[in-house]
């Protein structure tokens, strides 16, 4: 947690305004717009799968960085 947030919560700094979450497009939509000729549907599906695996691993692994062994 950033020091500024802790000091804000404890009342030592002014309250930090909350930001609305960024509304990112889905990867499939982004890839279709940005790279219409370079990426086919199979490749987009594979990349989406890798993104979802990474998100799932981050949710389940809060112990810190994973070592490669």
pLDDT of residue 67: 63
pLDDT over 90 for what percent of the chain?
19
Note whether 48 and 32 are within 8 A (CB): no
Domain ranges of the chain: 21-62
pLDDT digits (tens, 9 = 90+) for 6-56: 888 898 888 877 777 667 778 888 898 899 899 899 999 999 999 999 988
What does residue 10 show for φ and ψ, rounded to 5 degrees? Answer: -80, -5
Q: Where are the alpha helices (DSSP H) in 13-40?
A: 27-34
Tokens of 36: 């219409």
């Amino acid at each position: 947690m950033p020091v500024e947030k802790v000091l804000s919560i404890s009342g030592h700094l002014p309250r930090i305004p909350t930001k609305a979450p960024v509304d990112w497009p889905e990867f499939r939509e982004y890839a279709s717009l940005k790279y219409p000729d370079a990426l086919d549907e199979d490749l987009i599906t594979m990349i989406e799968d890798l993104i979802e695996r990474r998100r799932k691993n981050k949710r389940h692994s809060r112990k810190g960085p994973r070592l490669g062994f």
